Amino acid sequence: MRRARPGALNIRRRSKTVGLALKPVLEDHSQRQDASGKSNSVTKEIFPVATITGLTVRDIRIPTSDSLTGSDAMNPDPDYSAAYVELQTDHPAGLAGHGLAFTIGRGNELCAAAVEAWKPFVIGLDLDDIRTDMRSFWRRLTGDSQLRWVGPEKGTVHMASAAIINAAWDLLAKLEGKPLWKLLADMSAEELVACIDFTYISDLMTPEEAVELLRKNETGREAREQEMLERGFPAYTTSTGWLGYEDEKIRDLCRQAVDDGWSHVKIKVGANLQDDIRRSSIIREMIGPDRELMFDANQVWDVAEAIENMKHLAEFSPLWIEEPTSPDDVLGHAAIARAVAPIGVATGECCQNRVLFKQFLQAEAIQFVQIDSCRLGGVNEVLSVLLMAAKCGVPVCPHAGGIGLCEHVQHLAIFDYIRVGCSLENRVIEYVDNLHEHFENPVTMRDCRYLPPQAPGYSTTMVEASLDHYEFPSGAAWRDR
């Protein structure tokens, strides 16, 4: 693999490009001569010339372990955290792009350090070069031969790449004056496919197949967009069933969820089977037989253990069992899926790249794809997974809940409905009602549905006061701990 040089994007200029088209910001009135030799005033569109001039990353940690919010069988005491990236530019409007790598506390500094390692590959890049060849930009942030060695395309280095890539998409959407979902929805089939690296997945999905699928889904596109604007995308709540919650708190939260109109509720399981049975009984009693209940084991079971435990939990009629075993065990998931059917198997929040998703789909190992906006390699890689899932007829139900994840995935799910999956059957986005106050444009919910964001960008810009307060270890939230 050829090593990308930090100082240049290595994009070959072409006479015709497929990419994003930035809005002109001013007009140039120059004189041209017509065929008769007369001078005419001509209006010429001038596009903003902007360069990435800086990249900063901050270690942000919120002590959610104090309330056990986010607790599960594998992660009993998470502190929701973000390696928060800002891309600065010399754009005349002072625009900046923001992205983050989501972690749960210790190790956040590793993601921040990995972001710093990618910094020389970003500073000095021209935004016009990025927008006209997003695939090359993605490869630049994932394909350096030396940094790739500590992946490749997975783990800390990949999550750091995702934070920068998502920040670039946030920046491009702001330049276009559109929320990210709308930016993507307005792109042609060819423009979308030009963003994707099909390396390692062409045995399931080729660029030609992707273009054909997107073109076929043009029918009804405007109606689906209007439906999203009017009604929003359906969601489910995880807030009722964190593993560390006492039974009475679970009852209160379930009662509130029913009153609020939630039709889908998820509970954490996996630490102790008898506790799981007791808590599942409480939740099923509280939500009734007509609402959907989902289980999430967060990777704690072996394959045989998962199959055995689900025999006992099946009486509660769950829609799915999420992460029943190791997130890398494709064949294990397939064995569980066959054994627990018709209960579905869901996974994806720790699925490290498009290749693993390809294998899960090829093996018919999952019935629900749970993309994670910050685990995969940014928007580009998410697009490839959405397309593969659509080809295989598997619904996408994004993972969310962590800091900023709800803000991210609303854009991806809404775009998926408008242009790729084009169905709401068995499709819901995870929602957790906390930490949204730390974002300048938090999610808007109505009737348990995500309403499409209207502000330009990816909804990833955090409130400056929150950044200062929760920065580790110097912020006020951490100084006296």
Of 78, 75, 37, 43, the residue nearest 61 (C-alpha): 78
Placement of tokens 């730390």 in the chain: 438
Where b means 16+ CB within 10 Å and e means fewer, 368-397 reads: bbbbbbbbbbbbbbbbbbbbbbbebebbbb
3-state secondary structure 4-39: CCCCCCCCCCCCCCCCCCCCCCEEEEEEEECCCCCE
Contact 153, 133 (CB under 8 A): no
Handedness of CA 217, 223, 226, 227 (dihedral sign): negative
Of 363, 370, 318, 369, the residue nearest 340 (C-alpha): 318
3-state secondary structure of 150: coil
Of 272, 277, 170, 182, the residue nearest 224 (C-alpha): 182
Which residues are tagged catalytic?
268, 399
Q: Which two tokens stand for residue 249?
A: 């708190």
For 348, counting Cβ atoms within 10 Å of its Cβ (0-12 exposed, 13-18 middle, 19+ buried), the class is buried
User: CA distances (Å), 355 to each of 64, 154, 337, 418, in order?
Assistant: 33, 10, 20, 25
Instruction: Give, as one character, the DSSP assignment of residue 369.
Output: E
